[in-house]
Amino acid sequence: MCGIVGYIGKRDAVKVLLNGLQRLEYRGYDSAGLSVIENGTLLTFKRKGKVAELVKLLEKKQINCSVGIAHTRWATHGEPNDINAHPHTDNSNTISIVHNGIIENYHSLKQMLLAKGFHFVSETDTEVLAVLIGYFYDKTQDLEEAIRAALSEVQGTFGVAILSAKEPDKIVAARRGSPMIVGIGEDEYIVASDAAAIIQYTRQVIYLDDNEMVTLNRESYSTKTIDNRLTNSIIHLVDFDLSKIEKGGYEHFMLKEIFEQPQTIRDACRGRLLVDDGNARLGGLLPVFDNLRNVDRFILTACGTSWHAALVGEYLIENLCGIPVEVEYASEFRYRNPIIRKNDIVIAISQSGETADTLAAVQEAKQKGATVLGIVNVVGSSIARATDAGVYIHAGPEIGVASTKAFTSQLVVLSLLSLLLGRMRNLSKLDGIQIARGISELPSKVEQILERADQIKAIAKEFSYSRNFLYLGRGYNFPVALEGALKMKEVTYIHAEGYPSAEMKHGPIALIDENMPVVFIAPKDEIYDKVISNIEEVRSRKGRVIVIATEKDERIKKYAEKVFYIPETLPMLTPILSVIPLQLLAYYIAVELGYNVDQPRNLAKSVTVE
């Protein structure tokens, strides 16, 4: 949630900051603002709405500065408006701060400061932190010391960047539970909440650890813990280029990312799929191979789309490996005192690797002594560094808020993991080869689906009037029904629900009438006839039936108003194919309705707050 960028160097700071905000806008777009220091004076500009509103405000202003901080906001405390927008300043307009996260004890801190005569103009928890730093700064006249003193009083999470007009050649940043990255350029430094704001200027970065603080000067930097102990930060190389975070001729990032899936699936398999051996090689799991051999139970934990991937993972692991699996909402995991035994393995799944609830679940599992693995996309992310071992999905930057390519890459990695675990146990080499071949054929089969995207576009145009959708699937494709419904809700604002097909008659069937589109995922598998019976139940209530079916299935046509065919594959791999037309359906309906597909209302890409 929210995007932070700070710059100190020789360039025009306003241009660098605005460019960074535009790169980070997918992380929050309720309001935007920046603070710079010009000739010893702190200047702050902020506006409600998209970054474009801030750009308009600054167009005619002549500002000469080379240091500043900026923020694009997803609101937590206080409604989106100019006053609540970041940056926030202290009472003397000396300190300016941008902040991601939540200060949980802001109310008690605010009451303490009010009693000392300080005042507040916004509803935010961040302004409380700005005033608190200003309070300590008045005492110490040392920015780093004031920040350390203030942060030691804070309960909650934060990623912050801070300026002082009295120390104009310095930016201080710190983190606890919210990502912060430092880009190391030539006589310049950029601090940001995401590498997307950095890679135009440098690929060398440092990932701050929890409770770590960095001080950036014009010629150097230093890192310490918040309690003032020196740390040794390792410089990493960011391995994606600028083209990965640009639209590349597509109208929206979401459409680009849907069409990137043949390549991202290949990337998830590259160097890992051993077709001739009927096996998979996952080098990131080598440190825990003995644990994998002796595991008694897996617990998969995630949020949102990643939780749906975990549900598919449950089917995969149990069916191929015979190992019990439980799937937990990460947001509930740490609050219910989960029972974790000696040979349990917890797998955390997250696109960003920064999801606050999932990171908290990782910490809870580690506290209870579990082996914890990560399946994440972002190299160097908090979950990747907090887990014992893991697998990157290699989907590349995903800018569209509604996840698409990350979901299918997660499913591919879960399929590879299940293949590996199965071969460790009772899965024969012959069956392993069949599965490995099926996985290797997925990219070309996805390409076949995307070549017929216009068929989905036509269906979307016809059903864009609908105010409700029902998605139904069974077995491996029940989680796909949930994911299809989520995509529809996220980008079209149409109410949609996903259910196992057989559960329809236990309540949802009451909703069905001639205006209700019902999307069935009905591949030709062992429960195909059961799904046909469910379709008949919908037709008898005049529901409008849309079916995702296996190619050459002519029988399905007499039961459905609309049919979209996907190539035949193994039942365990159908979710990777069947979800793609559902992604396209949501996308094209959102476009038909005129919505901002990449930046849906009330949503942001990386949920780094509870």
- What are all long-range contacts of 221-224, with beta carbons under 8 Å and residues at least 24 apart? 221/182, 221/184, 221/189
368 is a catalytic site residue: no
How far apart are the C-alpha atoms of 520 and 591, rounded to whole Å?
A: 23
Q: Is 79 helix (H, G, I), strand (E, B) or coil?
A: coil
As given in the structure block, the two tokens for residue 364 are: 């809870």
Burial of 41 (0-12, 13-18, 19+ CB in 10 A): exposed
Question: Could you say which of 170, 256, 405, 605 is catalytic?
Answer: 605
Single out the catalytic residue among 2, 65, 303, 321.
2
Instruction: Give the C-alpha separation, 130 to 199, whole Å.
Output: 29
Phi-psi region of 28 (alpha: psi -120 to 50; beta: other; left: phi over 0): left
CA distances from 566 to 429, 445, 446, 462, 548 (A): 27, 8, 8, 21, 7
Q: How far apart are CA 217 and CA 203, in angstroms?
A: 19
Q: Which residue has the tokens 């806008």?
A: 25
Token digits of residue 265: 């699936």
What tokens does 277 get?
């051996």
For residue 487, count other CB atoms closer than 10 A to its CB. 27
Helix (H, G, I), strand (E, B) or coil at 74: coil
Q: Where are the alpha helices (DSSP H) in 216-285?
A: 253-259, 261-269
CA–CA gap between residue 491 and residue 594 (Å, rounded): 10
Structure tokens given for 353:
């690797």
- Please give the structure tokens belonging to residue 2: 């929210």
Annotated catalytic residue 605: yes
Q: With contact defined as beta carbons under 8 Å apart, do 519 and 469 qualify?
A: yes
User: 313 with 592: CB under 8 angstroms?
Assistant: no
Measure the CA–CA gap between 530 and 534, rounded to whole angstroms: 7
Smallest Cα–Cα separation from 514: which of 470, 469, 544?
544
How far apart CA 58 and CA 524 sit, in angstroms, is 58
**What is the helix (H) or strand (E) element at residue 495, kind and residue range?**
strand 495-500
317-348 CB burial, b ≥16 within 10 A, e <16: beebbebebebbbbbebbeeebebeeebbbbb
Query: Tokens 């680009």 sit at which residue?
Result: 256
* Pair of tokens at residue 312: 């598919």
Written in H, E and C, the secondary structure of 273-308 is EECCCCEECCHHHHHHHHHHHHCCEEEEEECHHHHH
HEC string of 441-481 equals: CHHHHHHHHHHCHHHHHHHHHHHCCCCEEEEEECHHHHHHH
CA distance linking residue 106 with residue 308, whole number of Å: 35
181-184/279-280 β-pairing:
unpaired
CB of 91 closer than 8 Å to CB of 134: yes
Q: Where in the sequence numbering do the catalytic residues fall?
A: 2, 605
